[in-house]
Chain A
Amino acid sequence: MSIRVRYESELKGVFDNLVLMCRHIESAIENCIKALMEQDIELAKEVYESDIIIDRLERDIEHSCLKILMMEHPVAGDFREVSAALKMITDLERIGDQAKDIADFATQLGGGKAVSKLEHIPQMATIVIQMVKDGVQAYINRDLELARSLDTADDKVDELFCIVMADLIALIKKYPEDAERAIMYMMINKYLERIGDHAVNIGEWVEYAITGVHPKKIRKTANGKGKK
């Protein structure tokens, strides 16, 4: 087997596992929000279990990438592809953790009455699920435009985050007895916003893999410091 054939086959293994990890993450976000909205504790427990699979996939992909780095000594586009995958899985794993944290709040909130005006939370979830999916697809298909579109999608998530936060502040003022539950919803709001940020990070690593330049580096050069 030639070096290229072995490399391509090992990289395909990484791609397959990334797609699998992405699917588990999509389900985890979907299920944690469903568990929250429908107060379904059993579904929340399923999210815990899927996080174990997500963590295992992260380790498997990490192992494959390190093996490629050691055995194949990739350079140029190959090197960027493998190092981008290594960085992306850290963000994907964190997204899995955040879905688990949301599921955790879903169980704590279970049984009580839901806070009103929550329609924006499932809306945020729908957007971040698509962002994660797009990030991984952009990597697999080397789609620069799709990778760059994640920044715009994240603006929408940030906008919704501010709306939910304002709603929750108003709610606490009006019904101080619901403050504890409102704070838990605020945490969920924050986790969804962070998932959006992680998806943007994934898009940036995809951009690096394709162009050789990380967009944060461009901003750092332009501003004298990196954008947070």
Chain B
Amino acid sequence: MTKYSLSSVNLWYHDFQALTDVNIDIDNNEVTAFIGPSGCGKSTLIKSLNRMNDLIEGCRITGEFLLDGEDIYGNIDVNMLRKRVGMVFQKPNPFPMSIYDNVAFGPRTHGIKNRTELDEIVEKSLRDAAIWDECRDRLRKSALSLSGGQQQRLCIARALSVAPEVLLMDEPTSALDPISTGKIEDLINELKREYTIVIVTHNMQQATRISDKTAFFLLGEIIEVGRTEELFTNPKNEKTENYITGRFG
């Protein structure tokens, strides 16, 4: 089932057109990977999926962004949109507070004050992010005391704490070592049972390992989108083949 349906999407930063006539469907309970050389528009598009680009001055967007059939650039509550669509960034960015408070931050913002309820949310989120066993005895310690890989999983737990439907991940493992990367990839594979995941990655092997669908971007356009196995063994477009085989980019 389609979660996001984007059609004729164009995006400008002032005079510069960063996305041109983008059309893509993102399916429920799947991992969709965006690949392409730097500056091709993949991070711009992922940030548009929960209107993070609203914060950028001079950003103008046209086209249709349907989330479950509803236009996210229409008359909707942006805070509620960001509750439904969580985001994890390239560099782990825990708040300078305890592990517990990092995860409880979102639910508290959305009005949950009951301690027992918050405890349950924190535990479930940390379990779902596969970090509970490593931090259950140090929930009151600073999140900054965690390793880079643990901090990134904490950020995923923080994103999960508000029960989103979609998880956007912009190069979530590019700053991590191979062990932490492996844990995040295993986690993504688990999370797609409950969430729809969109990931930007520069790592071709990562895209083949974790994604069901891949979209290749070049100069603000989607050149090819298809099932990951098919796109990486038999791409239809020569530009895709040239990029993924390292002939350019």
Contacts and interface: CB of A to CB of B under 8 A. Distances in A.
B8 interface: no
Contacts of A213: 234
A52 to B, nearest CB: 35
Interface string B231-249: 0111100001100111100
B204 interface: yes
B245 A78 contact: yes
Interface in A1-40: 3-4, 7
Contact of A77 (B204, B208, B241): B241
Given A3-B246, A4-B246, A4-B247, A80 B233 contact: yes
B37 to A, nearest CB: 15
Interface stretch (A68-76, A94-102, A105-113, A159-167): A68-76
Contact of B232 (A3, A4, A79, A211): A79
A176 interface: no
A226 interface: no
Nearest to A73: B205
B205 A77 contact: no
Interface residues of B, number: 13
Contacts of B233: 75-76, 79-80, 212
Given A3-B246, A4-B247, A75-B245, A80 B204 contact: no
A26 to B, nearest CB: 32
Provide the main secondary structure of the chain B interface: helix
Contacts of A212: 233-234
Nearest to B235: A76
Contacts of A211: 234
Provide the main secondary structure of the chain A interface: helix
Nearest to B236: A212
Given A73-B204, A75-B204, A75-B208, A80 B234 contact: yes
A76 B246 contact: no
Given A3-B246, A4-B247, A75 B232 contact: yes
Given A212-B234, A213-B234, A76 B205 contact: no
Contacts of A75: 204, 208, 232-233, 244-245
A41 B25 CA distance: 69
Interface in B201-241: 204-205, 208, 232-235, 240-241
A76 B204 contact: no
Interface string A74-97: 111111100000000000000000
Residue of B204, B244, B246, B247 with most partner-chain A CB within 10 A? B246
A76 B247 contact: no
Contacts of B240: 76
B171 to A, nearest CB: 18
B177 to A, nearest CB: 19
A74 B240 CA distance: 14
Q: Report the 6 A-B pairs with minimum CB-CB distance, sorted nearest first.
A: A212-B234, A75-B232, A76-B241, A75-B244, A78-B245, A3-B246
Given A4-B245, A74-B245, A79-B232, 11 more contacts: A3-B246, A76-B234, A76-B235, A76-B240, A76-B241, A77-B241, A77-B245, A80-B233, A80-B234, A212-B233, A212-B234
